[in-house]
Amino acid sequence: MEKPIVGFIGLGIMGQPMASNLVKAGYRLVVFNRTREKAEAMAGELVQVASSPAEVASKCQMVITIVTDSAAVEEVIAGPQGLLGAVTPGSIIIDMSTISPAVEQQLDSELRRVSATLVDAPVSGGDIGAQQGTLAIMAGGDRDAFERSLPLFQGMGKTITYCGPVGSGQLTKLCNQILVSVNLLAVTEAVTFARKTGLNPETMIEAVKGGAAGSWQLANLGPKIARRDFAPGFMIDLMQKDLRLVLEAAGSSAVCLSAASSVHQLFNAAQAKGLGKEGTQALMQVVETGAAL
Amino acid sequence: MEKPIVGFIGLGIMGQPMASNLVKAGYRLVVFNRTREKAEAMAGELVQVASSPAEVASKCQMVITIVTDSAAVEEVIAGPQGLLGAVTPGSIIIDMSTISPAVEQQLDSELRRVSATLVDAPVSGGDIGAQQGTLAIMAGGDRDAFERSLPLFQGMGKTITYCGPVGSGQLTKLCNQILVSVNLLAVTEAVTFARKTGLNPETMIEAVKGGAAGSWQLANLGPKIARRDFAPGFMIDLMQKDLRLVLEAAGSSAVCLSAASSVHQLFNAAQAKGLGKEGTQALMQVVETGAAL
């Protein structure tokens, strides 16, 4: 089966390597980026640069978007010069941004009026996962639209999960962020306890990481916290954006999230200390001072 | 080098298989248990039953204890008929119970007055780890006493870590329990969020467990929580005992543990609902009702 020409909107830290991986996988792309230079940098035999999302939609029946936030996705899809104005019946818009599940559902309704559909497919794995094509991709939407999107996902990621109707990808990503941030809080408390009671935190981590206390956060960020390396893998400012989505969705569904809410407040304290551009592990700098809820 | 005759006090769910593994490793034992029948059940060519801890101390220069709590360890070591009354100079008492670090330090001082020493070496890995000889062992005490104890540890466990001076094993175990319980809280919040927003919790777990959200608690207790299997691997009542030790030590060292303290209170709520003998994952039954701090 011939590969479709794929639209790709948003060539940031995540989008650029993801788009490159699709080219490596043999796809021709039509790309759009708000800052046009980033699109021009990719232009070539297989990559054509468009002047608007609408132009992308007019040329491609499968369009991937990965932009900053809910407002940016709304602009790209439903704004002036957005995809909606030019999308053809049968098109699939695959939004890989991390945004509000409710916004995805709303945009899907609008796309359905013109016989198109939306698949929400946020990712985890960071810029390194994007570069190496090892992202986890959590997708929601029509099962059929998911199946048609699967070859594209396989060009960009490794663990690809169909999670349910539209919005389910985002909801799954939010579960991911609850786990990431609360597990990180656990690590900061354990390292603080270790240090203040006279243990060597790195020895403690080695002793416990292989058992029931083990986590990705402990194994990967624990040693950084112990040696006070706060350089960003994933920035606190970005985690806060995601935790706001968590708490917004929790509010809509009357879910009480005591720990996720606490860690959001502790990250607020970190931002107040000017740590927003540091890695999430800089949460340590709040926890060790005795901040609590 | 000839293997020493080893004293072993406490033949409960953990102690009995640990003692059996030492016999399999070729050690002769002198055992004592408060309920004598459990000791008699092990008696044989390699296992002699003693009538008191003092009798054990009179026959062995290396004695392992693994009993319920701080009071039980104090009774076995410093009580009437305790080890202290009969211990010979150069003896090493290895306490593998999970108890207060401060109590271990106090008992070590008392043992030093008779030229003996204490190694605190609590374990993690549960009854299955005890049976399979795959326990993690976190040890504190004299470095030399640790080295002399190492062959015994190798007969009972896999990951064996020297953590520092006496009490350091217990402090490391308490770090382990902070991580275990707060990671579990993260899992219960993520599963609650998933279920109440319409996701299939098991699909969510599969989607995220391989990445930055991953943990032992998620991979092992997550699916049990999703299918509401609350049978005990590790009972809430026992976790509460350990969290009390965590908060006591945190109080002594002025460490503020917001999340560990919250999870202790939520386990209090679980105990109030009659769930103390259920597995720790029954925390879900509190979190899903919206209890919070």
ipTM computed for the complex: 0.96
In chain A, where the domains are located = 6-166, 171-292
Residue A109 CB neighbour total at 10 angstroms:
11
The structure's pTM equals: 0.96
Q: Residues B24, B38, B59, B173: which is the catalytic one? A: B173
Task: Check whether A1 has a pLDDT greater than 70.
Answer: no
* CB contacts, 8 Å: B281 with chain A: none
Q: What percent of chain A has pLDDT over 90?
A: 97
Per-residue pLDDT reduced to its tens digit, B89-108: 999 999 999 999 999 999 99
Nearest-5° Cα angle at B26, B21 to B31: 65
Contact A35, A13 (CB under 8 A): no
Bridge partners of A32, per DSSP, are A9
Contact A121, A153 (CB under 8 A): yes
Interface test with A, best of B104, B258, B265, B287 (most A CBs within 10 A): B258
Which CATH code for domain B6-166?
A: 3.40.50.720
CB-CB under 8 Å, A292 with B256:
yes
The predicted structure's pLDDT at residue B292: 63
Q: Known catalytic residue: B173?
A: yes
* CB contacts, 8 Å: B136 with chain A: 207-208, 210-211
Distance from CA of A190 to the nearest CA of B (A): 5
Interface of A with B in 168-197 (CB under 8 A): 168, 171-172, 174-180, 182-183, 185-187, 189-190, 192-194, 196-197
CB-CB under 8 Å, A261 with B171:
no
List the structure tokens of B46. Answer: 């390699």
The predicted structure's pLDDT at residue B2: 83
The predicted structure's pLDDT at residue A96: 98
Q: How many CA atoms lie within 13 A of A214 on its CB side?
A: 17
Bridge partners of A31, per DSSP, are A8, A49
Nearest-5° Cα angle at A46, A45 to A50: 100
Q: Which residue of chain A has the CA closest to B129? A: A211
The predicted structure's pLDDT at residue B293: 59
The predicted structure's pLDDT at residue B290: 87
Per-residue pLDDT reduced to its tens digit, B36-59: 999 999 999 999 999 999 999 999
Would you call B203 an interface residue with chain A, using a CB distance cutoff of 8 Å?
yes
The predicted structure's pLDDT at residue A2: 83
Per-residue pLDDT reduced to its tens digit, A194-230: 999 999 999 999 999 999 999 999 999 999 999 999 9
Nearest CB to A213 within list B179, B198, B266: B179
Interface test with A, best of B104, B185, B193 (most A CBs within 10 A): B193
Block means of pLDDT (10 residues each) for chain B, 293 residues, are 92 97 98 97 96 98 97 98 97 98 98 98 94 97 98 98 98 98 98 97 97 97 97 96 97 94 97 98 96 64
The CATH superfamily assigned to B171-292 is N-(1-d-carboxylethyl)-l-norvaline Dehydrogenase; domain 2 (1.10.1040.10)
Interface of B with A in 44-103 (CB under 8 A): 101
CA distance B101 to B167: 4
Contact A66, A10 (CB under 8 A): yes
CB-CB under 8 Å, A182 with B186:
yes
Per-residue pLDDT reduced to its tens digit, A161-186: 999 999 999 999 999 999 999 999 99
The predicted structure's pLDDT at residue B1: 66
In DSSP notation, A37-81 reads HHHHTT-SSSEEE-SSHHHHHHH-SEEEE--SSHHHHHHHHHSTT
* CB contacts, 8 Å: A126 with chain B: 212
Closest by alpha carbon to A73, among A122, A17, A35? A122
